[in-house]
Structure 1
Amino acid sequence: MNYRHSFHAGNSADVVKHCLLIALVRALQQKQSALTLIDTHAGCGLYDLHGEEAGRTGESTQGVLRAFADQNPLLDDYRAAVQAVNVGAEPHLYPGSPQILAQLLRPQDFLILNEKHPQDAYNLRGVMRGTSAAVHERDAYELWLALLPPRTPRGVVVVDPPYEQLDERKRITATLAAAHRKWSHGVTVIWYPLKDRAAHERWKQQLRNLGIPKLLGVEHWLYDSDQPGIYNGAGLFIVNPPYAFTQALPPLLEALRAALEPEGHSGEIVTQWLGD
């Protein structure tokens, strides 16, 4: 499944991913000690919702535009992050995870971005100019392991691949196992698209077999039943989510489900601990 950021900017998956990422980092920042934020598949950092690639799919109409039309205050932080890169009431630009993470930085925090695709890496450097972010152009899985443990006491690794390669999930599973051995207390966030439940259940079982004690799965299914051959939603695996985040998660997830439900479907959000 090819999921390059530029074609899907601002869709429902982005809304869920970025709402939860903001809430997660905010929860970690309740402590004053420094954070290192690492984005292994950073993309371009900023997307034109009316550009050729995002415009071709038009997925933002079912994502960020629904979130902006919604009035639930639990989505205010997300809307503010998107509004920060726009002028006017309706968003025309969409911030990727690098831009959103940069907005969340405190003076003591660090941001490390990686993008292997040469053109995307070039665009990312331009977008992040003027920020404190370090930008790398390396293999994501090699970088993931090379930077652990970070220099700060705490940190977050965000893994958000395009799933272009058939072995993407296998590489994620193997790298996560090695990363957890190096940095067992670290927070890791892995984004994934949902296409069919059977394949997803097989991957979840492989992750369970890693024996990571605190591994939370959050799935956002758009439809009441699988729609064969199409994108059915997205989710996150989160290693070591902070307590403040998990406590605030249920009402936020319900707000997202209600804001993003397709016409004729109520959608479903499933949360499940996969660890021991």
Structure 2
Amino acid sequence: MNYRHSFHAGNSADVVKHALLIALLRALQQKEGALTLIDTHAGCGLYDLQGEQAQRTGEAMQGVMRAFADQNPLLGDYRAAVQAVNDAVTIGEGPRLYPGSPKFLAQMLRPQDFLILNEKHPEDAYALRCAMRATSAAVHERDAYELWLAMVPPRTGRGVVVVDPPYEQTDERARIVATLAAAHRKWAHGVSVIWYPLKERPTHAQWKHQLRKLGIPKFLNVEHWLYDTDQPGIYNGAGLFIINPPYAFTQALPPLLEALRGALAPAGHRGEIFAEWLRE
């Protein structure tokens, strides 16, 4: 699967990922202790929804534009974060620019927090540095999985690693399993968020089985299926694996998930979104 994010910025997967990321960080920041936020596949940082690549797919119309039109108050923090990178946003027009995960993370930094970004693609890394110029973020251009292991545990002790790969390589899932296992041995209480696309259920079930065998105690799985029945050979939705989510986040999750399902359900479909613990 080729997932160059400029083609898919602001789609339904982004809405779910970023809304949950905001909620997760808000829960972690209920404690005053410093956080180190690490994004291993940071991308460009900022995307033009009226640019040629985004317009070619039009996926933002079924994602961020629906979230702005829906106006559910539970999505207010998400909409405010998107609006913050736009000069002006009206309900009729919607946003022109879409923030990548680095921009969402930067908006949530407190004075005591740190942001570490990584993007291996040279052109995207250059765009990322430009997009993050006004922030305190450190930008690296390294192999994502090498950086993941090198940066944990962070000096602050507490932190979040966001892993959002393009899934272009056939061994991507295997590298995630291996790196997660090694990172967990180094930093057992660390919080990790791993994004993935959903296509065929059997392939995904096999991957979940491999992750379940790692025996990580607090391993949450959130899945968002767009359609009432699987659509063969196409993108059917996306999900997140969240390791060590705080209690305040999991308690507030059900109504937020329902708000996301309602806002993003395609015409003629109810869709499904749920959270479950992965157990051996």
CA contact (8 A) 1:115 1:140 kept: yes
Find the residue that maps to 1:116 and give its secondary structure. Answer: coil
Query: Which whole-Å deviations, capped at 9, do the CAs of 1:68-112 have from their partners, x for residues lacking one?
Result: 001210000000000000122220000000000000000000000
The equivalent residue for 2:125 is: 121
C-alpha distance in 1 between matches for 2:102 and 2:78? 14
Query: What's the TM-score once normalised by structure 1's chain length?
Result: 0.99
The equivalent residue for 2:54 is: 54
Pairwise CA distance, 1:53 = 1.1
Query: Equivalences for 1:71-220 in 2 at 5 Å?
Result: 71-88=71-88, 89=90, 90-220=94-224
The number of residue pairs the alignment matches comes to 276
The equivalent residue for 1:21 is: 21
The equivalent residue for 2:67 is: 67
The equivalent residue for 2:276 is: 272
Pairwise CA distance, 1:275 = 3.4
CA contact (8 A) 1:216 1:275 kept: no
Find the residue that maps to 1:14 and give its secondary structure. Answer: helix
- The match for 2:266 among 259, 262, 270 is 262
- The match for 1:236 among 237, 240, 257 is 240
Query: Which whole-Å deviations, capped at 9, do the CAs of 1:175-225 have from their partners, x for residues lacking one?
Result: 000000000000000000000111110000000000000000000000011
C-alpha distance in 2 between matches for 1:111 and 1:206? 30
C-alpha distance in 2 between matches for 1:3 and 1:119? 15
Find the residue that maps to 2:116 and give its secondary structure. Answer: strand
After TM superposition, the structure 1 stretch with the greater mean CA deviation from structure 2, 83-92 or 249-258, is 83-92
CA contact (8 A) 2:163 2:194 kept: yes
C-alpha distance in 1 between matches for 2:68 and 2:170? 35
Query: Which whole-Å deviations, capped at 9, do the CAs of 1:132-160 have from their partners, x for residues lacking one?
Result: 00000000000000011000020000000
CA contact (8 A) 2:199 2:235 kept: yes
The equivalent residue for 2:43 is: 43
CA contact (8 A) 2:117 2:137 kept: yes
C-alpha distance in 2 between matches for 1:273 and 1:74? 23
The equivalent residue for 2:30 is: 30
| Counterpart residue type for residue 116 of structure 1 | K
Pairwise CA distance, 1:270 = 2.3
Query: What's the TM-score once normalised by structure 2's chain length?
Result: 0.98
Query: Which whole-Å deviations, capped at 9, do the CAs of 1:22-65 have from their partners, x for residues lacking one?
Result: 00001000000000000000000000001111111000000000
Pairwise CA distance, 1:271 = 1.3
C-alpha distance in 2 between matches for 1:2 and 1:192? 12
Find the residue that maps to 1:37 and give its secondary structure. Answer: strand
Structure 2 alignment gaps of length 5 or more: none
